[in-house]
Amino acid sequence: MVVAATGVGAGDLIAASVAGARYGTIVLWAAVVGGLLKLALNEGVARWQLATGETVLEGWCRRLPRGVAYYFGGYLLLWAFVVAGALMAACGLAAHTVLPLLEDERLGVLFWGAIQSFAAAGLVWAGRYALIEQVMKGLIAFMFVVVVGSAVVLAPGWRAVAEGIFWPRMPEGDGAVWLVLGLIGGVGGSVTLLSYAYWLKEKGWSGSGALGTARVDLGTAYLLTSVFGAALIVIAAGAKAAEVEGYGMIVSLAGQLEQAAGQWGYWAFLLGFWGAVFSSMLGVWDGVPYLFADFLAAMRPARRAVALRRSPEYKMALLYLALPPLLLLLFGKPAWIGVVYAVTGAFFMPFLAALLLYMNNRKDWLGPLCNGWAANLGLLSALLLFLALFLSKLLL
């Protein structure tokens, strides 16, 4: 549940909605394929940890050339700043739409974004993982019921939905291929995949015997993620909402739901969207500080005795997520940050897939949990897709 909630970000929701509005149910299969590819990557993360007792990040720092760790450390710093700012903006927009306490939208977004950032940080700082998990389960259950229920109301026809899922076709038109590839790549998160290693520890799952349990856990998570993405495509296709950019797409869909189901449909959809983005914020605020703390600990000769969650590095990283990115809401995102983030971010997914292919095929490292043909096929497919997306960022 935590994986599913964290992996559903505002950008993914908007991308799925735009794809549905533009191409209809013909692209439903892309949400399914995206979930399967992210499942392959996250299964690789779990496999490594359960076989070696190390997180993937520890493996990069201790077993691979230092350049790998330095790239990731630099990218993590930039990624966390930009993604935290984007989550604050999405949460702020959602809350301002539901409860516009301030007339000026920019100030309203800043106000609500800050409130929710501090609330998420306070919950993570004071709470245990079990508490965070229960809150996120409640949020994802709510958003799942709202979004899937809305899809049932607005579905253009169940035959068209079934064909869109089980008969993969590429829509026609300029940019269709890249939009579909982007939709596949956007399902289920990116760097947050690495956080699963720490949630495994919180659950107390260790050793090769836990791999089956982790697979069921991840399978459930990505089934929910794929259904959620597919439901948004169905809603956008059935509502025939005007195709607009960014958050306006969500408001447009809410307006169409109001026509079909009254005020209840409008408010339920907006609250469901808020639940999706706030649960994603909570997952990032909880999971990403582990990456900072683990990275700094792994780069040192001696291991820290204190648990990562209680370490000063974890708390400093949590403050880094909760405070500095508010500047992006005040002044906007400088163009150079957007360019660097887009290129380095597009490189991360093929980077992760390639390293998992290498590391998880080392029998001297993984022993009996070494990759089989199915795991290799999934990772290779992910590598090729995300490499294509990376090249598109560079060349187009």
Model confidence pLDDT, tens digit, residues 42-75: 999 999 999 999 999 999 999 999 999 999 999 8
The region of weakest confidence among 59-63, 152-156, 291-295, 331-335 is: 331-335
Query: How many domains would you assign to the chain?
Result: 1
Report the CATH number at residue 156. 1.20.1740.10
Give start and end residues of each alpha helix (H) in the chain: 2-7, 10-23, 28-52, 56-63, 66-98, 105-126, 129-154, 158-166, 176-186, 196-203, 211-239, 248-261, 263-298, 312-322, 326-331, 335-359, 363-366, 373-395
**Residue 376: Cβ within 10 Å count:** 17
Mean pLDDT, the chain, as a whole number?
86
pLDDT in tens, 116-142: 999 999 999 987 778 888 888 888 888
Q: Domain limits at 48? A: 2-395
Tokens of 117: 């950032």
pLDDT in tens, 167-194: 988 888 777 887 787 788 776 667 888 9
pLDDT in tens, 2-33: 776 666 666 677 778 778 888 889 999 999 99
Would you state the pLDDT for residue 15? 76
Would you state the pLDDT for residue 11? 66
Average pLDDT over residues 344-367: 90
Would you state the pLDDT for residue 353? 95
Q: Is the pLDDT at 344 greater than 80, yes or no?
A: no
Closest by CA to 14, choosing from 314, 181, 243, 208, is 243
Q: Exposed/middle/buried for 333, CB within 10 Å: 0-12, 13-18, 19+?
A: middle
Would you state the pLDDT for residue 53? 92
**Residue 365: Cβ within 10 Å count:** 17
What separation in angstroms does the CA of 93 have from each of 32, 36, 128, 319? Answer: 28, 31, 28, 22
Would you state the pLDDT for residue 251? 79
Q: Is the pLDDT at 343 greater than 70, yes or no?
A: no
- The crossing angle, in degrees rounded to 10, of helices 28-52 and 335-359 is 60
Answer whether 379's CB lies under 8 Å from 357's CB: yes
The region of weakest confidence among 330-334, 355-359, 388-392 is: 330-334
Average pLDDT over residues 80-100: 89
Confidence class of residue 307 from pLDDT cuts 50, 70 and 90? Answer: confident
CA–CA separation, 4 vs 136, rounded Å?
Answer: 9
Q: Give the count of alpha carbons within 13 A of 148, CB side only.
A: 12
Confidence class of residue 325 from pLDDT cuts 50, 70 and 90? Answer: very high
Query: What sign does the CA torsion over 371, 373, 378, 384 have?
Result: positive
CA–CA separation, 150 vs 131, rounded Å?
Answer: 29
Answer whether 140's CB lies under 8 Å from 4's CB: yes
Question: Which residues, 6+ apart, have CB-to-CB distance to 258 below 8 Å?
Answer: 265, 266
Would you state the pLDDT for residue 244? 55
Closest by CA to 348, choosing from 7, 65, 41, is 41
